[in-house]
Structure 1
Amino acid sequence: DVMVSWVEILYMSLIALATAILMIVMLKLFTGVVVWMIVIFMSILVTGAAGFCWYKWYLSDKLYKSTDPTYQTPEQADVVRTWLIYSLVASGVAVVVLLVLLVMRKRIKLVVRLFKEAGSAIGRMPLLLIQPVWTLMILIAALGVLLALTFYLESSSDLYQNKSRKRFKMVYLRWYHLFGVLWISAFIVACQDLVIAGAVAVWYFSRKKSKLGWPIGRATCNLIRYHMGSVALGSFLIAVVRFARLILMTIQQRLKGATNKFAQFLLRMLHCCLVCFEKFLRFLNRNAYIQIAIHGTSFCEGARKGLIVIINNALRVLAINSVGTFLLFLNKIGCVAIVVMVGSVIIQFHQDITYTWVPLTIGGAIAFLIAHCFMLVYEICLDTIFMCFCEDCEMNNGGDKPYFMSTNLLVNISLFRSTWSNWQSNCRVTKWFLGSFGSQYYHNCGVQLQSICWNM
């Protein structure tokens, strides 16, 4: 079926490429509508889920109470209790989500503006979209070399008559080689992140964005000349955590038949903690690479600055990572759905295909890979522009030090300045009546208002 339908698979790949490019354009043009639709959809989803759980609890409880006590079973009581727990949990989640969306409604406007800026950056530097292609090619080449080294490694050493005898040197070399594979793959991906972040940072901090030259080439040269050590350190940390996860998985596999349930629970808990720590470390590494691209600092200094920016803009980061990530995921799913639907129409005219799900599955997987590559670039651009925006606000004041940000992002700063100016003008008379105590009181309130406005 694969050999027969290779033309249809090629068509689906081209359709996926065109769909991904179209979605990049739509993200720039209709971001506001899509983002607010997602917010409304999330609100309806969590509220509807809570309502559904309460409805199922009501039906099960009504059925249980209407049953004669002599015929009531423990299973019915368990069903009522289970739906009650589900209802309470769903209601708690709904309340938290609705409160978070209510608090972040102003930050969501910043997310919309950042998406538009990311679209503008990609429009100015369209070659950013092929960076994942180069990364994938380098990864395939590197993994091919590492696979060849694996064959050489396994075919080395001495012959033993006793097959059960452990070759400890070979065991150590296998683990050493596996750690090298993890480190090299993480290093290649980190190089891509730093190149994209460097190009976007050059675009953001350029007064004449129409005359950028070759920012991708400049970012690549800076990576090779200055930042290879920083990338190696960041990828080393990721490799260490992944290596620890593999060791835990190996131990879990060997203890699968053991009767010690506590040890198995402890290993699962440790593995879960390592997964969460790896996600946090990848998030911290990306922001460290962005700081390195902006300031040219070392990895540790970049991670420190990135962490400070994240802490000072926690609600903004939450809005970007929740709404933004969900929006990019929806674009991936939408691309796959379009390709599969069009592919099913194309394949139905091909009579020689026995199982149509085979080419559709391959086409859908290729579509997801293409969409993931495009959205990954968009995600890195989004994070970089947000970090550049925060650094721009920190370094400049809009007066003798003009901002680098566009008019689209300057709206947030204008809103802050107008709110702060209104506060100062409205409390001059009140400060005159209240004297020094009033001056100190309004100064403290003003600092709080300044912090509130800054986080809008």
Structure 2
Amino acid sequence: HNAFVVLPHVEHNPSLTGKVKGLNTVLFRLGKQMKHKNSWIHGDPRKVVYPTDSHGQFCGQKNTPNAGGNTTCHRPSLFLLNPFCCHLFSFPLFSHLTLLLYHRSVTSLLSAKEVGIKIFEDYANSWYWILIGLVITMAVSLLFILLLRYTAGVLLWLVVFGVIAAVGYGIWHCYWEYSDLSGKSGANVTISDIGFHTDLSIYLQLSQTWLVFMILLSVIEVIIVIMLVFLRTRLRIAVALLKEGSKAISYIMSTLFYPIITFFLLAICIAYWAVTAVFLASSGYTFSQTNITKVCPGSQCMFAFYGGESVYHRYILVLHLCNLFVFLWLVNFTIALGQCTLAGAFASYYWALKKPNDIPACPLYSSFSRAIRYHTGSLAFGSLIVAVVQMVRIVLEYLDHKLKGSQNACARYLICCLKCCFWCLEHFIKFINRNAYIMIAIYGKNFCTSSKDAFFLLMRNVIRVAVLDKVTDFLLFLGKLLISGSVGILAFFFFTHKIPAIQEEVPSLNYYWVPLLTVIFGSYMIAHGFFNVYAMCVDTLFLCFCEDLERNDGSSSRPYYMSPGLHKILRKGEEGAKSCAAS
């Protein structure tokens, strides 16, 4: 983009006429690509759509000087670039190299265009079936969440025992490999003796490797069993909360479709950032005339600024960074608004003494209205903190990219440590903010007070937090993989003509993986949206459950708001703890 743009008059250079005609087809096809490149330089986002001449005037558009075409704008939709003229007379060797590079780039461009056309044809022929696959995913996700109300316990324990069985099989396999290699020559060499090798298969031929694996897996198995023995009561509470979450969603079904609102708001944020970035990027370098025509008669080489460089142009990078920061802030605010809205809806379910009769009408709309009217400042402040940390992480990534070729090991090590620290800090702040938004939705206090209350409440129930968080995350992740994987397998068999019953309905495709990957990715995103609502429901109910335990004692004057099933499990856990303490 820093090269001269040449618009020669071929008739002034007879020796070049044949060469230019030979490249005519190439230049015509390259014109559209060059139009897009220069559109970011000229300073007007409209140039992304319409071609211009070297003076920045639109070609072939109504009410413009070039509406009918002129000497520098012969065709209404073409921006010509001739690499022969200036380079041929000044630097002949470089001109041939330039032609070679242009030929290769144009060839790859045409190949990419053919592939793009085929992909577009595949989408045009299979969009109907892609839509059916996504609808199936939505129905299965909804059904899975509703079934968790009745099968959460069975599913959770199947997962737990499945993990135990898988680790146990790993221990047995490592022992079998270790005993098999122990009698072979050369397998008793230690890992430290052979040193480091990029071929990892070498280590698998050593008996010591399998011994290390076996010891590690045995330690993991013992830890899992010990945790199950001591945390069996907590696991029952987690199962009860998962069931309670499914019950709450069944009463407030509108919450499952709130991710559509979040997606719409995020799309607005992305569009705002993209449009602003285009205006900033297109306000940079533009063209003005030079004296290069003396070197190459008949050409018009343009490269400079319209009106000269100003202070504004020197700070375009700073403005890009400000635009990026605003984008991060808006995205985090949108996510915070969704979390606070869902938390308010599910909290209204939990704090209803007689469910579902005491649940207020339209709880999702009421919660959204409260969040917009009363909690905008708190949500903006919490999202601001996350945006600042994310901006620092982006700067660190940029510095790490610049220091990759550096020989300063200390600087690279420092950047790596900072990246790790800020990654941990971002996830910790997101965790605190998520629970702070729940407390904001329940009590309506400001962000700092809610963050403090949520933090100390979680610390007083740290074991429950650890168990519930990991169990819920793993179960929901398993559900996402189960749904997207099942729909993906079904789509694979369909698009590869493996289902005889509906083989005639399969559309003709150039690449079957185009609709297949689209269905898999779309299915995972849809399942992710549904299960994010479920995770927010469980987190809200958990904080309400902890608050309920501290504020009430189950008496007639201060009754528990939790469900009878959850109360029954809690009472069993307290009685078991008291009996253990007495013994």
1:189 and 2:345 correspond: no
Q: Does 1:110 align with 2:230?
A: no
**1:79 offset after TM fit, Å?**
3.6
Q: Secondary structure at the match of 2:124?
A: coil
Amino acid at match of 2:321: W
Cα distance in 1 between the residues matched to 2:161 and 2:540: 27
2:351 paired with 1:205? yes
TM-score (norm 1): 0.86
Equivalents in 2 of 1:419, 1:302: separation in Å? 33
Map of 1:147-296 to 2, 5 A cutoff? Answer: 147-156=274-283, 168-211=314-357, 212-296=360-444
Partner Cα separation in structure 2 for residue 380 and residue 95 of structure 1: 32
- Residue 432 of structure 1: aligned partner: none
User: What residue is the counterpart of 1:433 in the other structure?
Assistant: none
Q: Percent identity?
A: 31
Could you report, residue by residue, the CA deviation over 1:64-103 in whole angstroms, capped at 9, with x for unpaired residues?
A: 46789xxx97767994444444333333333323322322
Higher RCO (C-alpha under 8 Å, 6+ residues apart): 1
TM-score, normalised via structure 2 length: 0.68
Greater helix share, 1 or 2?
1
Residue 165 of structure 2 is aligned to residue 8 of structure 1: no
**Can you list the C-alpha shifts for 1:334-357, whole angstroms capped at 9, x where unaligned?**
111221122234332225113222
Matches within 5 A, 1:46-85: 46-64=167-185, 79-85=206-212
Name 1:88's counterpart in structure 2: 215
Question: In structure 2, what is the equivalent of residue 404 of structure 1?
Answer: 561
Structure 1, unmatched stretches of 5+, are: 424-444, 450-456
Q: 1:97 to 1:241 in 2, by over 3 A?
A: farther
In our comparison, the structure showing a higher alpha carbon Rg is: 2
Specify which of 296, 307, 311 is matched with residue 455 of structure 2.
307
The 2-side partners of 1:385 and 1:77 are apart by 47
In the alignment, what sits opposite 2:488? 340
> For residues 267 and 56 of structure 1, do their structure 2 counterparts lie closer, same or farther at Cα, with a shift above 3 Å needed?
farther
Q: How far apart are 1:363 and its partner, in Å?
A: 0.4
Verify the 8 A CA contact 1:198 1:216 in the aligned structure 2. yes
**d(CA) in 1 for partners of 2:561, 2:149:** 20
CA distance, structure 2, for counterparts of residue 417 and residue 58 of structure 1: 48
Which secondary structure does the structure 2 equivalent of 1:272 belong to?
helix
Give the direction of change, closer, same or farther, for the CA distance of 1:353–1:226 in structure 2 (3 Å limit). Answer: same
- Give me the CA root mean square deviation: 2.7
Distance 2:481 2:177 in 1: 30
Q: How many pairs align? A: 422
**CA displacement, residues 284-343 of structure 1 (integer Å, 9 cap, x when unaligned):** 111111111112111111111111122111221111112211110111011112211222
Deviates more, 1:325-334 or 1:311-320: 311-320
The equivalent residue for 1:137 is 264
Deviations 1:4-50 (A, max 9, x none): 11111011011111111111112111011000001101212233334
What runs of 5+ residues in structure 2 fail to find an aligned partner? 1-121, 196-201, 288-302, 498-502
Distance of 1:216 and 1:321 partners within structure 2: 24
Q: Distance in 1 between matches of 2:465 and 2:276?
A: 42
Q: From the superposition, tell whether residues 168 and 222 of structure 1 become closer, same or farther in structure 2 (CA, over 3 Å).
A: same
Mapping of 1:376-455 within 5 angstroms? 376-399=532-555, 400-415=557-572, 418=575
Output the amino acid matched with 2:262: T
Distance apart, 1:246 and its partner CA: 0.6
Tell me the distance in 2 between the aligned counterparts of 1:147 and 1:420. Answer: 58
Inter-CA distance 66–48: structure 2 relative to 1 (3 Å threshold)? closer
The CA deviation at 1:418 is 4.5
- Secondary structure, aligned partner of 1:276: helix
Letter of the aligned partner of 1:111 in structure 2?
Answer: A
Question: What secondary structure does 2:558 align onto?
Answer: coil
